[in-house]
Structure 1
Amino acid sequence: MVFMSCERPVNTPFYLDTSTCIDNGDYSSNSSISHSKRYKYVTIDARVMDVKDSCRLEQMVLTSRPGNDHPNISCSEIHNDLVYGFELSWIQVICDSYCGGNSCYRNDLNRVQCYSKIGLGRRLLYFFEGRQPPYVDYLSIAYNWYLLLNIVLLYLTAKMVLGAPCVVALLIYKWCRRHLSTNDAVEEFLQSQNNFMPIRYSYSEIRKMTKGFKDKLGEGGYGSVYKGKLQSGRLVAIKMLDNFKANGQDFINEVATIGRIHHMNVVQLIGFCAKGPKRALIYEFMPNGSLDKYIFSLEGRIPLSIEKIYEISLGVAHGIEYLHRGCDIQILHFDIKPHNILLDENFTPKVSDFGLAKLFLAADSIVSLTAARGTLGYMAPELFYKNIGGVSYKADVYSFGMLLLEMASRRKNFNALADHSSQIYFPTWVYDQVSEGNDIIMEDVTEEEKKTINKMIIVALWCIQMKPSDRLSMNKVVEMLVGEVECLQMPSKPFLSSLADVGDNLNPTCSTMQSGESSQSTQF
């Protein structure tokens, strides 16, 4: 109940003018009241917004009246409320003492009801006329057991009905955990590599670079490649990996290998993104695409000259040689093919796609693989037949030899639609043609270009020998490609039983270079 003093009269049914209830003369004679004329009012349960601007609060008293929910209160009502005073509730004390802080309330029968925390039922405590001896309702105990029985039955029913969804949920959980462990493995690898040059980008930055993955350059088993632009204006190719291995091995392979090297004939890794399952590799942009678009006959495409094809083959050889011998560790690519040779604006070749690559110590001549890797048509035979020799860097030499044959002849090394069965396996057919002195059929080729083609073919045939020990090393491949074709001799026929000593087939005038390779064939 609020008593107020106002400078001006207040006209509201919720304010009671006290001049009708008390003697104005006696009231104004009180020394604590200002001598200036003021108007006295009283209201019930007033809020701050109910106090008029010209009024101020003089006094407040407690009352059990429920509030001023109706207008036109009277002096007698105010008097009765003041005489009655206000009530104190003992319910909270009982709740704390007997209900342990649980929820409780008093109903119309003056009964306090406590609710158990476990929610299995309820116990009732009765208090009459201020006494507090508890009376336990045993019917509630029986009710508790009834609820418990229903819960058990409900559980058994749910177990039978929801068993299948629970199994599905468990499988989904394990699948999520597996990919979380994949993400952890990738993140642990990235944290352990402190000397990386590539930059780590967020997924939002990747989306911004590609303008929402607008310009798609290509697609493969690894995912898709999009054209993007860095803030500096540099164009990049962004490879989004979506079908990665369970442990993220393809991503780790590419970052671990190409992230630590830099060579003019190896594509440069500028950055990467590893945000949970979203992974991307950011490479320098190659405007002329991959080599396969230029060495195979396609209508409407301008073919490259023999000289340019030769320069590209020499650049690829330099790139592979660098991977094998130019680093502290030996990097075996295992997937050399035209699709993985990219060309920049000047048609400078770049070896790319290190998803199958493996790193080994340079001193290790033989490596251990649990399964064959690569692309059919370019895979070395020792990846399938262990009895012909161990797996080493000579597997990349074989793949390069098959690539070199395709570049020299501008056709695929396997032609299932060939007119003659001898042409189905192209290397055998090429070997027979060159051995008999026949030219590989090509139109408008000069004599100098024929020499270049023959040189590339002979080097390729040396690279694809069945036994790894009979193949060249990449530094010898480079040496033979830059040498004169007259210094080259035909090797043994590939994939036949003739495995004669390499030195017996060489021209004496050029034996120094070739025999050097022969003596080193068992060392590398």
Structure 2
Amino acid sequence: MAIFQGILLLIVLLLVPMAAAATVVGVGRGAEEQDPECLPTSCGKQDGPEIRFPFRLKGHHPNHCGYPGFDLSCIHHSKFPVLELPFSVYAFVKHIDYKSQTISISDSEPQVCLPRQLPNLNISAFPFQFLTNYFYKDVSFINCSHTLYEPRIACLSDQSHQVYAVINSYNSLYVSCTKMYNMSLPYEIFRYYYRNITFDDLQLNWSKPECRKCEARGQNCGFKNNNNSSSSKSQLLLNGSTECFDKPRQPSMGALTKLKIAGAVVGPTFLLLVVIAIYHVYRSNKMKKADQVKIDKFLEDYKALKPARYSYADIKKITNQFEDKVGQGGYGIVYKGKLSNDVYVAVKILNNVKGNGDEFINEVQTMGRIHHINVVRLVGYCADGFRRALLYEFLPNNSLEKFIASDQQKRSLGWKKLEDIALGIAKGIEYLHLGCDQRILHFDIKPHNILLDNKFNPKISDFGLAKLCSKEQSVVSMTTARGTVGYIAPEVFSRNFGNVSYKSDVYSFGMLLLDMVGGRQNTETQNTSECYFPEWIYKRLDQGEDLGIQIEEDGDAKIIRKLTIVGLWCIQWYPVDRPSMKVVVQMLEGDGDTLIVPHSPFASTNPMPMTGTTGGRTFNSELEVISESE
């Protein structure tokens, strides 16, 4: 690449004296065919886009050389021209494709911050349009005083406030943030580079003036009769009629002889220019290598949101030869690891047993498309021969199971924090069911798979049993039961209860809520091995008796009652009787006073009515059997 640039530069330097000689001897007829005031130009000496009709360079081309709204300007330090749009909106033009009538604009230059200018952009007064094949999203720009795991607008942020672009602005974490404005924007323009968004290579096109036929013929385009007097040229901007012009012709053989003589005269000067060009190419190449080193270090330090692939040698280095073991289960062993710049990860080394291949592929494929505050982020993976590992963000407070095993441990968190944890888990599951391109069914929701960060925010983990299906078709076909005993929905074991669907995750979440309330080792249920805690607590709740759970502060009893009722709604035996996760989130966000205790899920032999009522809210579930999407 550097050699090619050097050769290209030498050719340009060679043509400079030749072009000068051509001007002296008056060769070529291009000036007769196209207005000499409107000849193409560019910003800088190389790599910048060619500026010609319908664009014009302000300060270089007269008004009649360009179409209204296509004005470009050059600034002294950039090879890219600046496009001036209505209402003081501007951006750098990185590329102009005259054949397809498309331009690429960017805010990568430090002077431009497109997100700051978006509210001023008036599409009706805008001569360019976004490409029609873009997929649009309603985006909210919010200003927060605290850090979020959301795409960050670097050019709008400072040390005290961070500005983020979010698709779903209803998240409870955004309550303390200030919404700046909403925009409907093409989803493709977002580049997620370590939570910093840049608007780079945004594609726009124009329909008028139409110059494609000229480009197809190898000709230039311009206003009709653009050789008229200045008074008539002003009229051209009003009627907008265009025609094609021949490009300047090559000089004749006689002119080439004169050019050779001119080249011999300036030979020593040309040799000096060659030396300068070689030095310039060397220096430019050296600077590019230095920039690449910076980029590589940045990628190594922070890692991209897209999972990265590591070798097994990398895994040993990251874990310091598997020094710090933090957990172990049937899936394998988890070690604490460290990337550069004190970025910690949890490294799960998978057991080399049958079935791990499917679960490994499933988890990488599923986690690679998820980005939510209540779902563990997959940093990377290793598939080195028969050795497989998954790298997650490190969460220092371990799993929820650790904090609900006894009343003493639950008191260390407090019921208000447990309520927040329950709501966070529900929002994470709702995101899996509704927030992705395909519905993700987890099939293993349990306290062990809920991890807590340093602020005790919950994050759903372990997607080895997850399934993907269309959002319009919610039910999956399964040949074998999957999940953990005690949290598996009845229909997973027997289709007599209904079809396997996203409602199976709702059942598991309900059992998790009841675990948070009373645990599987509740002291009042240990007297008999046949007493089932959910049934025991339902009878107490239905008869208005004390639930027998120790409370510390005012309001704890209300929280316990709300979690219990929501949990009982979720564990109804028949899927049609369970609410969706969207309704569950609404129930948990409410104050709980309007919640109605459901029918007993343990005594019914027939499903409840298709439409259920929960505190004035209704939900209806008619499920259609489909095949799972692998």
* Structure-2-length-normalised TM-score: 0.49
Instruction: Give the corresponding residue for 1:263.
Output: 372
Taking structure 1 as reference, are residues 229 and 315 closer, same or farther at Cα in structure 2, changes over 3 Å only? same
Structure 2 CA distance, aligned partners of 1:262 and 1:212? Answer: 30
Q: 1:449 to 1:478 in 2, by over 3 A?
A: same
Q: Secondary structure at the match of 2:370?
A: coil
Shift of 1:227: 0.2
SS in 2 for 1:363: coil
* 1:488 pairs with one of 595, 599, 602: 595
Q: Could you tell me how far 1:484 is from its partner in structure 2? A: 2.4
Aligned positions of 1:261-410 closer than 5 A: 261-297=370-406, 303-409=412-518
> Which residue of structure 1 lines up, in the alignment, with residue 539 of structure 2?
432
Letter in 2 for 1:235: Y
**Contact in 2 for aligned 1:222/1:244 (Cα 8 Å):** no
Mapped partners of 1:242, 1:501: distance in 2: 43
Query: Paired residue for 1:412?
Result: 520
Once the two structures are TM-superposed, the CA of residue 520 in structure 1 deviates from its matched residue by 4.0
Note if 1:453 corresponds to 2:596: no
What is the deviation of 1:445? 3.5
Post-superposition Cα deviations, 1:331-351, rounded to whole Å, max 9, x if no partner, equal: 110000000000000000000
1:280 aligned counterpart, secondary structure: strand
Size of the alignment, in residue pairs?
322
Find 1:471's aligned residue among 578, 603, 608.
Answer: 578
Q: 1:204 to 1:247 in 2, by over 3 A?
A: closer
Distance 1:278 1:521 in 2: 44
Question: Against the structure 1 CA distance between its residues 438 and 238, is the aligned structure 2 distance closer, same or farther, given a 3 Å change threshold?
Answer: same
1:362 partner amino acid:
K
User: Which piece of structure 1 moves more, 455-464 or 302-311?
Assistant: 302-311
The aligned residue for residue 330 of structure 2 is 221
* DSSP 3-state at the match of 1:248: helix
Q: Deviations over 1:293-318 (max 9, x none)?
A: 00111878962100000000000000
What is the Cα deviation at residue 273 of structure 1?
0.6
Shift of 1:418: 2.2
Q: What CA RMSD, in Å, does the superposition of the two structures yield over aligned residues?
A: 2.5
Match of 1:9 in 2: none
Residue 207 of structure 1 is matched in structure 2 by 316
Cα 1:319–1:233 shift into 2, 3 Å: same
Name whichever structure is richer in strand by fraction: 2
Given the superposition, is the C-alpha separation of residues 339 and 428 from structure 1 closer, same or farther in structure 2, using an over 3 Å criterion? Answer: same
Q: Which structure: larger Rg? A: 1
C-alpha contact 1:413 1:425 (8 A) present in aligned 2? no
Q: Is the 8 A contact 2:474 2:623 kept in 1?
A: no
Q: 1:280 to 1:415 in 2, by over 3 A?
A: farther
State the alpha-carbon separation in 2 of the partners of residues 344 and 365 from structure 1.
Answer: 31
- Cα shift at 1:407: 0.8
Query: What is the CA-CA distance between 1:485 and the residue it aligns to?
Result: 1.4
Instruction: State the SS of the aligned residue for 1:267.
Output: coil
For the residues of structure 2 that align with 1:464 and 1:228, how far apart are their CA atoms?
A: 38
Contact residue 324 and residue 332 of structure 1 kept, 8 A:
yes
Distance change in 2, residues 1:406/1:300 (3 Å): closer
Q: What secondary structure sits across from 2:392 in the alignment?
A: strand
1:487, distance to aligned residue in structure 2 (A): 1.1
The letter of the residue matching 2:585 is V
Which amino acid letter does the alignment assign opposite residue 294 of structure 1?
A: F
The verdict on how the C-alpha distance between 1:247 and 1:294 changes in structure 2, with shifts beyond 3 A counting, is: closer
- 8 Å contact from structure 2 (residues 441, 505) kept in 1: yes
Q: Tell me the alpha carbon deviations over residues 158-192 of structure 1, each in whole angstroms, 9 at most, x when there is no partner.
A: xxxxxxxxxxxxxxxxxxxxxxxxxxxxxxxxxxx
How big is the shift at 1:247? 6.7
Q: Which has the higher contact order (CA 8 A, sep 6+)?
A: 2
Q: Distance in 1 between matches of 2:610 and 2:488?
A: 26
How far, CA to CA, are the matches of 2:376 and 2:611 in structure 1? 39
Q: Which residue of 2 aligns with 1:35?
A: none
TM-superposed CA distance for 1:449, in Å, is: 1.1
CA distance in 2, matches of 1:414, 1:360: 37
Give distance in 1, aligned partners of 2:522 and 2:480. Answer: 23
Q: Distance in 2 between matches of 1:246 and 1:440?
A: 43
Greater Cα shift, 497-506 or 220-229: 497-506
C-alpha distance 375-212 of structure 1, shift in aligned 2 (>3 A): same
SS of the residue corresponding to residue 390 of structure 2 reads strand
User: Residues 296 and 480 from structure 1, CA distance in 2 versus in 1: closer, same or farther, beyond 3 angstroms?
Assistant: same
Match of 1:17 in 2: none
* Contact kept? 1:413, 1:427, Cα under 8 Å: no
**Percent of pairs with identical residues:** 52
Residues 71-104 of structure 1: CA distance to partner in whole angstroms, max 9, x if unpaired? xxxxxxxxxxxxxxxxxxxxxxxxxxxxxxxxxx
Residue 360 of structure 1: how far off its partner (Å) = 1.1
- C-alpha distance in 1, partners of 2:611/2:364? 44
